[in-house]
Chain A
């Protein structure tokens, strides 16, 4: 069945760990002091992009509890005083669930459809975080920076998504059950 050489084991582990590691990297990158205007403002939304893209390709390697943990980590690292901890986790979990439920419309379709899907889902994410932060701090928070963030991340989606989309099942026989039947391998991108 499976080759059990050291390399094969490493390969399996590496594949299993990759999406989580990439997501962790982007969560940490959120805090990196990049001085690029606009780009550094959008960094907090990049993890959503990663969650979306990997939920398309390999949702089984990005399980819910992992998203929960990383979302809470993101909130802890990013949050100011009074901001709700766990709202990003909620957003991640919901984005994953939404992608899983709509694989039919998102996997194996032209890139533009995926982009549109990302627009809708990340809008939901931004709205969710904004609403919860407003409720939690009970203060009117200017939505304009959040909307700006959203616009920038939607615009840079085509730059990053194809890179992330290379992470996917390689071999037709390796296609996990979840994606079987709904999409042929190699169709996760345009």
Chain B
């Protein structure tokens, strides 16, 4: 009996030691994981993609009812302001019809001029429509998860657009899922043009809803209300996708409000431009396609 008691005492002591040691061990393991993550970014990237692929079906299952509920709430809200909304839309419709006429005329004119000048257009863009299945928003990150991946042709660096304008770019791609990094993320740097002055700049995010226009040659030329569009420099984005408009110009900083409403994104389009530029991992920029035979390019 006494031996047994002694044994139990020793066993419980050992257990305590192991438990105490377990905490230290766990802490060491977490530090190890962090160090490995810092040293071997490719491995972490693979792990991320794997995790994304695993959870994206679950998330999709969650996302559908959530989207349905959100839509129901939005519908209810809209019922309340149906009349005003209708009036506003009618007015907007009239204005847009006028624009459509202008656009048609310009398109025809453009086509004529292009054929005169033998202008060669950039590669044709194709679109992949995707559903947002997950938010990737935290204090340190602005992004989302999409339910499309490598299988349908999504690649890192491709532009993600909505009806309003640019939302972000593809950062990680899994087999059936991908992560988009919004333009508002602190890691987002986007070559852009000020539409009115054609001046180049870099649009940088800082996790806040407003973007910062950086590396401008002259801030004086930028006015509140100027539209900012992608410049296509770097090769991965089409030219002229609207990004946002300047809302504030004060001592050295230009603030831009993105057109995309990130709080109610549900569907987006991934623009496959046929070129994965500098940000891509697809072995650099492929050579531009040769002009069709028989057409001489001057």
Contacts and interface: CB of A to CB of B under 8 A. Distances in A.
Interface stretch (B26-34, B106-114, B122-130, B250-258): B26-34
B275 to A, nearest CB: 22
Interface string A66-96: 0110011100111111111111011001100
Residue of B22, B23, B55, B135 with most partner-chain A CB within 10 A: B135
Contacts of B22: 64
A78 B30 contact: no
B187 interface: yes
Contacts of B139: 41, 44, 130, 145-146, 148-149
A142 interface: yes
A128 to B, nearest CB: 11
Interface stretch (A13-21, A31-39, A156-164, A180-188): A31-39
Contacts of B207: 141-142, 145
Interface stretch (A4-12, A48-56, A110-118, A132-140): A132-140
Contacts of B47: 76, 85
Contacts of B30: 68, 71, 86-87, 89-90, 93
Given A32-B66, A82-B187, A90-B31, A76 B135 contact: no
B188 to A, nearest CB: 10
A31 B26 contact: no
Interface in B21-44: 22-23, 26-27, 29-34, 37-38, 44
Contact of A31 (B27, B37, B134, B185): B134
Contacts of A90: 27, 30-31, 34
B143 interface: yes
Contacts of A32: 59, 62-63, 66, 134-135
A28 interface: yes
B133 A72 contact: no
Interface residues of A, number: 48
A41 B137 CA distance: 7
B34 A35 contact: no
A149 B139 CA distance: 7
Contacts of A44: 138-139
Given A33-B135, A34-B66, A76-B51, A93 B23 contact: yes
Contacts of A133: 140
Contact of B34 (A34, A76, A87): A87
Nearest to A89: B30
Contacts of A28: 55, 58-59, 62
B144 A64 contact: no
A40 B22 CA distance: 34
A34 B136 CA distance: 11
Contacts of A67: 26
A77 B135 CA distance: 10
Given A76-B47, A76-B48, A90-B30, A33 B144 contact: yes
A97 interface: yes
6 A-B pairs closest in CB distance: A86-B33, A80-B141, A31-B134, A146-B139, A90-B30, A85-B37
Given A31-B55, A80-B141, A89-B33, 15 more contacts: A32-B59, A41-B137, A64-B26, A65-B26, A76-B47, A77-B51, A77-B52, A77-B134, A77-B136, A80-B185, A86-B34, A93-B23, A93-B26, A132-B34, A141-B207
Interface of A: 28-35, 37, 40-41, 43-44, 64-65, 67-68, 71-73, 76-87, 89-90, 93-94, 97, 130, 132-133, 136, 139, 141-142, 145-146, 148-149
